[in-house]
Structure 1
Amino acid sequence: MGGTSGDTGSQSAQNTTSQGPKSEAENDQAATDNGQSNAGADTKTEQNDTQQTPQVPADYQSALRQAKSYSDTMHMSKQGIYDQLTSEYGGKFSAEAAQYAIDNVKADWNANALAKAKSYQETMAMSPEAIRDQLTSEYGDKFTAEEADYAVQHLND
């Protein structure tokens, strides 16, 4: 697993461009742009003979699975997941693997923020202002201001 060259990763999850392998959707789009289709297995085999598509490394796949789990079960923010994946106390993934996971996880960050906000409201009786502060805190959930605003606005929906 590679190092982060001194970068703490605190801003890396906000970068949506990935230096790692392309996602399946990107590969499908590239194939479509080249006049090819990924419609069936035979077509994919033929493509492998004519077009070299990079395989996603196992650690990138593992990071993506963990990111999906963190999003689906713990309703974590994009930055929170990135930090957890790269933490020496968490996933210990490289910055590149974590960024690949963030770029490819299918998450609704507004819905995650809302789920966290409702949990704080129900279990801790926090005010909307306190919830917003917790959602955006660098020591808390690390949601964006926009995601926290969405959550607070929809608390009673």
Structure 2
Amino acid sequence: MSKKITGEDGKTYVQKKPFYKRWWFILIVVIIIFAGIRSAGASDSDSDSSSTSKEAKVSSSSQESSSSSEEISSSSESSVSSSSSTPQSSSSSTQSSSTSVPREYKSALNSADTYANTMHMSKAGLYEQLTADAGEKFSPEAAQYAVDNVKTDWNKNALESAKSYQEMDMSPESIRDQLTSDAGEKFTQEQADYAIANLPQ
């Protein structure tokens, strides 16, 4: 509450609370703190899940390299002696190349994986999303690395997009136009043809 104070001149003045003691300021601070805690918790769970998926990818690639070295060891002795150094050198070059990939490129690849496999984007649409000012704002080099290295089936993405347009009662030719349009999905003509040919009737 405000206090009434009589000044030296005899007038009565109202002394207001400082802004930081007012109810609306406290409410704003509580909301900001709650939002900060919530977003910090969400980013922790995202990083945990991404680190788990990275560990799974690393273990699967190490299993693949060990199986390839077993195949090499089963061949003749002369080929083993000449090729046994090759897997080791290729493994070390693979490890050094994966560690030399910049963090921005890895982040772009993670984003590309999400866009390509959950939103079923085309290659060109994915590149645009990664580099757009209204999108992810990655460098063109990082976006190109991500588009080149993302694991997805572009034909399947075109088909999934076509199915969503089919649910809107669009004709096959309208769907094809939307899939290949520069203002639309930006799939290639071949990917659009595949999607139209495989749409459920």
C-alpha separation in 2, matches of 1:117 and 1:74: 12
Deviation at 1:52, TM superposition (A): 5.2
1:132 aligns with 2:176: yes
Relative to structure 1, the CA distance from residue 81 to residue 154 in structure 2 (aligned partners, 3 Å threshold; closer, same or farther) is: same
TM-score by length of 2: 0.54
Relative to structure 1, the CA distance from residue 119 to residue 38 in structure 2 (aligned partners, 3 Å threshold; closer, same or farther) is: farther
Relative to structure 1, the CA distance from residue 36 to residue 78 in structure 2 (aligned partners, 3 Å threshold; closer, same or farther) is: same
Deviations 1:78-97 (A, max 9, x none): 00000000001101001100
C-alpha separation in 2, matches of 1:66 and 1:90: 11
Deviations 1:58-100 (A, max 9, x none): 1100100010000111100000000000001101001100000
Deviation at 1:113, TM superposition (A): 0.2
Q: In structure 2, what is the equivalent of residue 142 of structure 1?
A: 186
Q: In structure 2, what is the equivalent of residue 83 of structure 1?
A: 128
C-alpha separation in 1, matches of 2:176 and 2:150: 24
Relative to structure 1, the CA distance from residue 138 to residue 35 in structure 2 (aligned partners, 3 Å threshold; closer, same or farther) is: same
After TM superposition, list the pairs within 5 Å mapping 1:46-85 onto structure 2.
47=92, 53=97, 55-85=100-130
Give the secondary structure class of the aligned counterpart of 1:99: helix
Relative to structure 1, the CA distance from residue 121 to residue 38 in structure 2 (aligned partners, 3 Å threshold; closer, same or farther) is: farther
Structure 2 regions of 5+ residues with no counterpart?
1-57, 66-82
Q: Name the amino acid aligned to 1:36.
A: P
Relative to structure 1, the CA distance from residue 125 to residue 33 in structure 2 (aligned partners, 3 Å threshold; closer, same or farther) is: farther
Deviation at 1:37, TM superposition (A): 3.3
Q: In structure 1, what is the equivalent of residue 4 of structure 2?
A: none
Tell me how large the CA RMSD over aligned residues is: 2.7
1:95 aligns with 2:140: yes
C-alpha separation in 2, matches of 1:87 and 1:80: 10
TM-score by length of 1: 0.69
Q: Which runs of 4+ in 1 moved over 4 A?
A: none
Q: Name the amino acid aligned to 1:116.
A: S
Indicate the percent of aligned positions where both proteins have the same amino acid: 57
Choose between structure 1 and 2 for higher RCO, CA contacts under 8 A separated by at least 6 residues.
Answer: 1
C-alpha separation in 2, matches of 1:145 and 1:139: 15
Relative to structure 1, the CA distance from residue 37 to residue 140 in structure 2 (aligned partners, 3 Å threshold; closer, same or farther) is: same
Q: Which has the larger radius of gyration?
A: 2
Greater share of helix residues, 1 or 2? 2
Q: In structure 1, what is the equivalent of residue 50 of structure 2?
A: none
C-alpha separation in 2, matches of 1:87 and 1:33: 46
